Structure 1
Amino acid sequence: MILIFGASAFVSWRLRSKFNEYSQIGLSNGLSGAEVAQRMLNENGIYDVRVVSVEGMLTDNYNPQEKTVNLSADVYYGRSVASAAVAAHECGHAVQHQKAYAPLKLRSAMVPVLTFSSRYMQWILLGGILLLRTTPLPLAVGVGLFALTTFFSFITLPVEFDASRRALAWIQTRGIVNEREYGFAKDALWWAAMTYVVAALGSLATLLYYASILMGGRRSN
């Protein structure tokens, strides 16, 4: 767990460092992140998705319910390699939605269940540990709920990697970036993807920890 925590902290720091670095490298064609996003949507025949600016840093996301590509101000207004890469990546999710990309459909279908379970999961796990000597059932329920969370984390991986693949292919073939800028964009998106990998591994490690408590309690009973 300590190794996972350390890796998470390192990857988060590295991502911010890379974003700050590539935010200082101007895009040769001068397009802003918002312009890159709008062009990618239009060229993929997507006209019902809005590109909007949101508060925060690295808060960029695609909302399939509201059909919005939400870009942080630095990305929306920025005219850098980082802005282009992030904007195209989020539009990659919109393209996935349009094409009914299976992992995205599964991930979206799980959101309501996870939203509900996340309200009670930690309390169920805590209660399960306290009641383990009496009955393993509450902890078993908690572990089951946590397993769903872990599965969600791993389903997120192909969704994120595929969005980056679509983004990089588009910005390269459409001449949004030159060869040098493409390398920077690829590096930035790789570090962004690593945050999801570390999160998934952290969730798995935590799941195994709770599962070991459950199995140990069952043996002692």
Structure 2
Amino acid sequence: MYGGYYMGGFLDSSWIIYVLPAMLLASFAQMKVSSSYQKYSRISSGTGYTGAQIARIILDRNGLHDVRIEHTPGQLTDHYDPRTRVLRLSNSIYSGNSIASMSVAAHEAGHALQHADGYFPLVLRNNIAPIVGIGSRLVWVFIMLGFLISPFFIEIGIMLFLGVVIFQIVTLPVEINASRRALLQLENGISPASNIAPAKDMLKAAALTYIASTLVAIGQLLRLLSITSSRRE
């Protein structure tokens, strides 16, 4: 549900200008989501359902009876796998009956609804994810080769990292839309009205982490462009 990118390298003025502000926001976002999770994991959802049961209700009422719900180890490791059509919930979300459990489970079910609807940003993200995953691991290899051998490799590195930035940008509407779908489902006879606002607060905190990750990626791209421009000069 959460993620970010950090590019290695020396700490120079370009890192301070382009990357540091975004990384400070990312740190704040992680603190915000952690504090929200800790707060709302102690408050009952008032539904009488566990996170797994809430996800099942949402899936079934939308005709997604074939989407399985599985338990996955860890904390906040929740995700929907479109390849296998499996929704995986972490320990406390799967069996918990807190506002946090309800919110996260509904959010992940929202991704399954997107998949069933053919929601374009999700389809695009799923298609480019394998390529971006490989490219993000090779960016600095090509940048270093560019410094040592030929500037041509620097251009390749920048293009690879541009893919990372595009992936992060595409992820934003996917996550925001999943949260909107989750809240609509919760409002439709699952959650007491008094717990919708706390659920929204929990999901907003999660969305902030994606915004921060996108800004970090953009900052890193600007840093790469600045470094390579200075190198050419």
1:150-161 paired onto structure 2 within 5 Å = 150-161=165-176
Structure 2 gaps of 5+ residues are 1-18
TM-superposed deviation, 1:23: 0.7
Decide whether the 8 Å contact of 1:117 with 1:145 is kept in 2: yes
1:180-199 paired onto structure 2 within 5 Å = 180-199=194-213
1:32-181 paired onto structure 2 within 5 Å = 32-128=50-146, 130-131=147-148, 135-173=150-188, 175-181=189-195
Decide whether the 8 Å contact of 1:26 with 1:81 is kept in 2: yes
Cα-to-partner distance string for 1:145-194 (whole Å, 9 max, x where unaligned): 00000000000000000000000011002x22122210000000001011
Count matched residues. 215
Amino acid at match of 2:169: F
Decide whether the 8 Å contact of 1:136 with 1:217 is kept in 2: no
Give the match's secondary structure for 2:87.
strand
Distance 2:92 2:141 in 1: 38
- Calculate the TM-score normalised by the size of structure 2: 0.89
Cα-to-partner distance string for 1:73-116 (whole Å, 9 max, x where unaligned): 10000001110110000010000000000000100110121122
TM-superposed deviation, 1:125: 2.1
Mapped pair 1:202 → 2:202 = no
Distance 2:198 2:114 in 1: 24
Distance 1:49 1:66 in 2: 9
Provide the aligned C-alpha RMSD in A. 1.1
Give the match's secondary structure for 1:119.
helix
Distance 1:159 1:119 in 2: 23
**Worse-superposed segment, 24-33 or 197-206:** 24-33
Q: Percent identity?
A: 37
Structure 1 gaps of 5+ residues are none
- Calculate the TM-score normalised by the size of structure 1: 0.94
